[in-house]
Amino acid sequence: MAAERADHLEFVVPVVNIFETPDGYALEAEMPGVSKDGLEITLEGDEITIIGRRTASPVSGELLFRECPTADYRRVFELDPAIDTNKISAKMEQGMLTLNLPKPEQVKPRRITVSD
Amino acid sequence: MNLTRYQKPDLAWTDFARLSSLRAELDRLFESPWTELARTSQLFSGWTPALDVHEDKDNFVVRAELPGMKREDIEVSLHDGALSISGERRTEEKYEEAEVYRTERFFGKFQRTVTLPAPVAADQVKAQYKDGILTVTLPKTEEAKPKQIDVNVN
Q: What is the pLDDT of residues B32-48, one digit of tens each?
A: 555 544 554 445 456 88
Report ipTM (2 d.p.). 0.81
* Nearest-by-Cβ selection for B131 from A17, A56, A64: A56
Beta bridge partners of B53: A65, B62
What one-character-per-residue DSSP string does A94-112 give? TTEEEEEEEPPGGGS----
B62 has a pLDDT exceeding 50: yes
- Answer yes or no: do A19 and B50 touch at CB < 8 A: no
Contacts of A59 in chain B (CB under 8 A): 52, 54, 61, 63, 135
Q: What is the pLDDT of residues A32-56, one digit of tens each?
A: 999 999 999 999 988 999 999 998 7
Read off φ and ψ for residue B96, nearest 5 degrees: -60, -35
Q: Which of residues 56-75 of A touch B (CB under 8 A)?
A: 56, 59-71
- Answer yes or no: do A64 and B55 touch at CB < 8 A: yes
- Answer yes or no: do A13 and B28 touch at CB < 8 A: yes
**Which run of H or of E encompasses B101?**
strand B99-103
Instruction: Tell me the C-alpha distance between A32 and A52, whole Å.
Output: 9
Q: What is the pLDDT of residues B82-97, one digit of tens each?
A: 999 999 988 777 787 8
Beta bridge partners of B146: none
Measuring CA to CA, how many Å separate B138 from each of B62, B113, B116, B124?
8, 14, 9, 7
SS3 B134: strand
